Amino acid sequence: MQSFDFNYQQFAEVFARLGKKFRLFGPKRVPGRGRFSDTDLITYADLQNPEDLETAEKSYLSPKSIVFPPDETTFYFTADQFTEPELSDNRETIVFLRPCDINGIERLDRIFLENGKVKDPYYQRRREKLHFFMIECRESFENCFCVAMNANRTDNFATAIRFAPEKVSVMIQNESFLEAFAEVGKKSDFVPEFVKKDSKAVNLPDVEDMPADIFSDSLWDEYDSRCIACGRCNTSCVTCSCFSTVDIFYPDSRNCGERRRVWDGCHLDGFTDMAGGHSFRKDKGDRMRFKTFHKIYDFRKRFSEDMCVGCGRCDDVCPEYISFSSCINKLSDRLSGGKKDEE
């Protein structure tokens, strides 16, 4: 492990050097594309130069699209054969991301690579190309609760980077990146630090098994009227991994087409539709309950860690100001015999 300091011009040189060999992907500001007309969108996108990299603000969308795109063709078919598409960009990829999102992608690994005997090949071929360049995160952003979710720390990174006003400090764990940095940087003793306190206190339920009556508790009723099923909380979440499979038949032949998988989510209408016209979890409160239990209960039963990493994006993006972290606290209160009629 070695560390180096750079001024911003030196860091730009390293960035350009890496860009010749790797695809560079990270948080990027898109002016005027935010939730309101005069606001910017911080999203994940390909980076052409270091100025593209937005390190001061939290991103609205997560980096999961690099391994799990919103819309992906899994194969093309004719009447008697099918072909899987090659990746359009086959380069190794450097992803700039925060500790919670590294933990989030590890949660996606559990779902796509470790949840049964078959690994998801579409996820796996993208995942194998990733190198994590961790953006150091020392202060909690609004709505973050990564400390409560035990997702504020990680040692799973190739390099860790601190973007200070006058300099950039880099610690290198993956020796294959040493040369690119060592030629330009000045040796330092930089070691990354991590968030120690959440901006919002979140108490996880202290029960091994959910009591059956909590499933029909009035706690969930408020979401029937408040939630509008827009699905923003699902699409912005780094750990939401659900998709629908769609077959598209080309207009010139009923035998030719393609199969796509498209992001879907437990809050969206139609997600639970089944053959024969059946559907379940029609009420929005039922959907909120399902998501809550999946994020902080069911997943833990299977993988011994919570699915939610406390990035707080679901709270950031909800147009109805529904707070998932408040929902967790309400559930904990209920289970401990506390408040019944909180907001």
State the residues that interact with ligand SF4 by CB under 6 A: 227-233, 236-239, 267, 295, 308-314, 317-320, 322, 324
Choose between 195 and 227: whose C-beta lies nearer to ligand SF4.
Answer: 227
| Cβ atoms of residues 206 and 334 within 8 Å | no
Choose between 172 and 308: whose C-beta lies nearer to ligand SF4.
Answer: 308
Place of tokens 């939401």: 240
Beta bridge mates, 243: 263
Choose between 195 and 311: whose C-beta lies nearer to ligand SF4.
Answer: 311
Place of tokens 């078919």: 77
Separation of CA 197 from chain center:
21
Minimal distance, residue 230 CB to ligand SF4, in Å: 4
Minimal distance, residue 222 CB to ligand SF4, in Å: 11
Minimal distance, residue 2 CB to ligand SF4, in Å: 33
**What is the C-alpha end-to-end distance of the chain, expressed in Å?**
49
Closest by CA to 234, choosing from 174, 176, 290, is 290
Choose between 52 and 320: whose C-beta lies nearer to ligand SF4.
Answer: 320
Choose between 97 and 317: whose C-beta lies nearer to ligand SF4.
Answer: 317
Minimal distance, residue 316 CB to ligand SF4, in Å: 8
Kindly report each contact of residues 19-23 with a partner whose C-beta sits within 8 Å and lies 24 or more positions away, as own/partner.
19/47, 19/48, 19/49, 21/91, 21/92, 22/91, 22/92, 22/93, 22/94, 22/131, 23/89, 23/91, 23/92, 23/93, 23/94
Minimal distance, residue 300 CB to ligand SF4, in Å: 13
